[in-house]
Chains A and B, each alone.
Chain A
Amino acid sequence: MRTDKNDITDDDFQKFREYFYRKTGIDFDLAKRYFVDRRLLERIEATNSGSFRTYFNKLRLEASGLELQQLTNLMTINETYFAREEYQFEALVNSLLPDLIKRKTDTKPIRIWCIPSSSGEEAYTVAMFLLERWPGINKWDVEIISSDIDTGILIKARAGRYSARAVHHLPRAWLQKYFRPIKDEFQISDELREAVEFTRVNLAAPADTRSYRNFDVIFCRNLLIYFDDVSRKAAAETFFDALNPGGFLCLGHSESMSRISSIYTVRKFPSAIVYQKPLESR
Chain B
Amino acid sequence: MKRILVIDDAATVRMYHRNILEAADYVVEEAVNGIEALEKALIQKMDLYLVDINMPKLDGYGFLRRLRSEDMEQAPAIMVSTEAAPEDQRLAFQSGANLYLIKPIKPAQLLSHVRMLLGEAAQ
For A273, the chain B residues whose CB sits under 8 A away are 39, 42-43
Quick one: which of A18, A260, A266 contacts B38, CB cutoff 8 A?
A: A266
* CB of A156 closer than 8 Å to a CB of B: no
A258 and B42: CB pair below 8 A? Answer: no
Quick one: which of B11, B36, B66 contacts A258, CB cutoff 8 A?
A: B36
A-B pair count, CB < 8 Å, reads: 41
- Knowing A18-B11, A21-B32, A22-B11 touch, does A258 contact B39 (C-beta < 8 A)? yes
* CB of B57 closer than 8 Å to a CB of A: yes
Question: Which residue of the partner chain A has the closest CB to B59?
Answer: A262
The CA-CA distance from A273 to B62 in the complex, in Å, is 19
For B57, the chain A residues whose CB sits under 8 A away are 257-262
B62 and A258: CB pair below 8 A? Answer: no
Quick one: which of A18, A25, A265 contacts B36, CB cutoff 8 A?
A: A25
* CB of A118 closer than 8 Å to a CB of B: no
Quick one: which of A257, A258, A262, A265 contacts B32, CB cutoff 8 A?
A: A258
Within 8 A of A (CB), among B24-79: 31-36, 38-39, 42-43, 57-58, 62, 66
Pick from B31, B35, B36, B66 the residue with the most CB of A within 10 Å: B35
The CA-CA distance from A260 to B36 in the complex, in Å, is 11
B11 and A268: CB pair below 8 A? Answer: no
Type the 1/0 row for A10-26, where 1 means its CB is closer than 8 Å to any CB of B. Answer: 00000000100110010
A268 and B36: CB pair below 8 A? Answer: no
For B36, the chain A residues whose CB sits under 8 A away are 25, 256, 258
The CA-CA distance from A261 to B35 in the complex, in Å, is 9
The CA-CA distance from A258 to B7 in the complex, in Å, is 12
A257 and B43: CB pair below 8 A? Answer: no
The CA-CA distance from A261 to B9 in the complex, in Å, is 15
Least CB distance, B9 to chain A, in whole angstroms? 8
Question: Which residue of the partner chain A has the closest CB to B14?
Answer: A18
The CA-CA distance from A256 to B43 in the complex, in Å, is 13
The CA-CA distance from A273 to B34 in the complex, in Å, is 15
For B43, the chain A residues whose CB sits under 8 A away are 268, 273
B58 and A256: CB pair below 8 A? Answer: no
For B38, the chain A residues whose CB sits under 8 A away are 266
For A258, the chain B residues whose CB sits under 8 A away are 31-33, 35-36, 39, 57-58
For A256, the chain B residues whose CB sits under 8 A away are 35-36, 39
Least CB distance, A271 to chain B, in whole angstroms? 12
Pick from A22, A261, A265, A266 the residue with the most CB of B within 10 Å: A266
Question: Which residue of the partner chain B has the closest CB to A266?
Answer: B38
Least CB distance, A128 to chain B, in whole angstroms? 28
For B32, the chain A residues whose CB sits under 8 A away are 21-22, 25, 258
For B35, the chain A residues whose CB sits under 8 A away are 256-258, 262, 266
For B11, the chain A residues whose CB sits under 8 A away are 18, 21-22
Question: Which residue of the partner chain B has the closest CB to A25?
Answer: B36
A268 and B42: CB pair below 8 A? Answer: yes
For A257, the chain B residues whose CB sits under 8 A away are 35, 57
For A18, the chain B residues whose CB sits under 8 A away are 11
Pairs A–B under 8 Å by Cβ, sample size 13: A21-B11, A22-B9, A22-B11, A25-B36, A257-B57, A258-B36, A258-B58, A262-B57, A266-B38, A266-B66, A268-B42, A273-B42, A273-B43
Contacts from B to A (Cβ < 8 Å)? 9, 11, 31-36, 38-39, 42-43, 57-58, 62, 66
Contacts from A to B (Cβ < 8 Å)? 18, 21-22, 25, 256-262, 265-266, 268, 273
10 new A-B contacts at CB < 8 Å, known A22-B11, A256-B36, A258-B31: A21-B32, A257-B57, A258-B32, A258-B33, A258-B39, A258-B57, A262-B57, A265-B66, A266-B42, A266-B66
Which 4 A-B pairs rank lowest in CB-CB distance, beginning with the nearest?
Answer: A258-B36, A258-B35, A268-B42, A18-B11
